[in-house]
């Protein structure tokens, strides 16, 4: 496993981050534990979850499963960088959501209880909340840091302007500010390159990627003769991009690597990307991508990938004058 510093912080995290959204609704607890054990044994030290994850089983389930795994061996807590999120509705209560100072405090305490830990390493705002003043949010985060309940603050799904504004307010308060932004980014969806990545690079904010395989579009065909279960929208997108995906599969075959592996490796070659989240539903899926950090794509391969999946264009300086 290879490691990178998370943004401008001194925190070093694995280039693969284990996402736990599948834990519970898709992956039973025993297999979730097996995935966690294998990931840590392979050197993954970065685990991401969110207070809402749990799907049809209810909010908080994924955090609770992770908490029970941590409780099995207390030494595990010191080996992993633990990240979770706040923002999404946790009940029908009108105040049990968003980024008000009240909700941030209550949600953090609830996450700590489910996880069975005394602090969270990276506390991320799951979405932007345009109804709450940024000074109120930083007041709440500063309090949690002072209480020793969180160590670093990150954002998720923020636009570039909000990353800049959020960090400027933190700097005005004499604080470190955001050290990470977790965003949707993959070969097909490259709009992050227009504004978000430039903003992150300018402020020393590390990019953590979610959905790196485009919901399965970039994972490639199964080799066991089976068919992937996929939504109608994914099936339609696969049909619409059939020619593009075929060219991608040809390139991957020439490299001798699975499409999903190449897609993940490409992300780790992009400026500003610290880590990409992998969300294996089973142990075999995890084992299939553990070698990704060791894959080097040469400039000609990167150029071919840009030809198959063109960037959105040059920004933000292209239209600034």
Residue 223 in any domain: the answer is: no
Task: Quote the pLDDT of residue 229.
Answer: 56
211-243 b/e with 16+ CB inside 10 Å = b? Answer: bbbbebbbbbeeeeeeeeeeeeeeeebbeebee
Does 229 map to a domain? no
pLDDT at 226: 42
Kindly state whether residue 232 falls inside one of the protein's structural domains.
no
CA distance 51 to 161: 26
CATH assignment of the domain containing 206: 3.20.20.100
Residues of the chain with pLDDT under 50: 224-228
53 labelled catalytic: yes
Q: Which pLDDT value is given to residue 224?
A: 46
Q: Which pair of tokens denotes residue 125?
A: 């705002």
Residue 250 counted as domain residue? no
How far apart CA 50 and CA 125 sit, in angstroms, is 10
pLDDT for 319: 64
Q: Which pTM value belongs to this model?
A: 0.94
Residue 91 lies in a domain: yes
Of 53, 123, 185, 203, which is the active-site residue?
53
Secondary structure (3-state) at 204 = coil
pLDDT for the residue numbered 317: 67
Tally of domains in the chain: 1
* Amino acid 232: pLDDT: 83
Instruction: State the residue range of the domain holding 11.
Output: 3-217+261-297
Bond from prior residue into 269 cis (ω within 30 degrees of 0)? no
Contact predicate 230/216, CB 8 Å: yes
According to the model, what pLDDT value does residue 2 have? 98
- Tally Cβ neighbours within 10 Å of residue 125: 26
Q: Is residue 225 part of a domain?
A: no
**Residue 227 pLDDT:** 46
In a domain, 310, yes or no: no
User: Which of these, 42, 46, 13, 79, lies nearest to 290 by C-alpha position?
Assistant: 42
**Integer CA distances (angstroms), 84 to 80, 151, 182, 218, 303, in order:** 13, 12, 11, 26, 35
Q: What is the pLDDT of residue 222?
A: 58
Q: How far is CA 168 from CA 161, 162, 177, 276, 280, in A?
A: 11, 10, 8, 26, 36
302 in any annotated domain: no
Measured CA to CA, the distance from residue 293 to residue 16 in angstroms comes to 8
Q: Using the CB atoms, write b or e for 250-284: b if 16+ within 10 Å.
A: ebbeebebbbbbbbbbbbbebebbbbbbbbbebbe
């Amino acid at each position: 496993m290879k490691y990178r510093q998370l943004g401008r912080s001194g925190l070093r995290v694995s280039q693969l981050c284990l996402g736990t959204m599948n834990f519970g609704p898709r992956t039973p607890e025993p297999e979730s534990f097996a995935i966690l054990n294998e990931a840590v044994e392979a050197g993954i030290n970065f685990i991401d979850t969110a207070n809402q994850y749990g799907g049809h089983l209810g909010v908080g389930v994924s955090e609770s499963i992770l908490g029970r795994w941590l409780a099995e061996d207390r030494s595990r807590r010191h080996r992993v960088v633990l990240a979770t999120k706040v923002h999404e509705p946790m009940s029908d209560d009108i105040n049990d959501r968003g980024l008000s100072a009240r909700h941030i405090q209550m949600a953090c305490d609830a996450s700590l209880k489910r996880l069975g830990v005394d602090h969270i390493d990276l506390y991320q705002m799951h979405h932007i909340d345009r109804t709450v003043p940024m000074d109120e949010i930083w007041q709440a985060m500063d309090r949690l840091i002072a209480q020793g309940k969180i160590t670093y603050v990150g954002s998720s799904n923020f636009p570039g302007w909000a990353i800049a504004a959020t960090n400027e307010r933190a700097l005005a308060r004499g604080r470190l500010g955001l050290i990470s932004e977790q965003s949707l980014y993959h070969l097909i969806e490259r709009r992050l390159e227009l504004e978000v990545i430039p903003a992150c690079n300018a402020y020393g904010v590390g990019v953590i990627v979610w959905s790196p395989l485009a919901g399965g579009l970039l994972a490639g065909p199964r080799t066991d003769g089976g068919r992937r279960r996929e939504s109608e929208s994914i099936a339609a997108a696969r049909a619409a991009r059939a020619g593009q995906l075929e060219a991608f599969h040809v390139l991957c075959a020439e490299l001798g690597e699975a499409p999903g592996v190449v897609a993940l490796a490409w992300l780790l070659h992009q400026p500003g990307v610290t880590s990409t989240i992998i969300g294996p539903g089973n142990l075999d899926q995890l084992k299939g991508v553990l070698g990704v950090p060791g894959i080097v794509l040469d400039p000609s391969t990167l150029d071919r990938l840009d030809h198959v999946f063109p960037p959105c264009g040059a920004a933000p300086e292209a239209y600034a004058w």
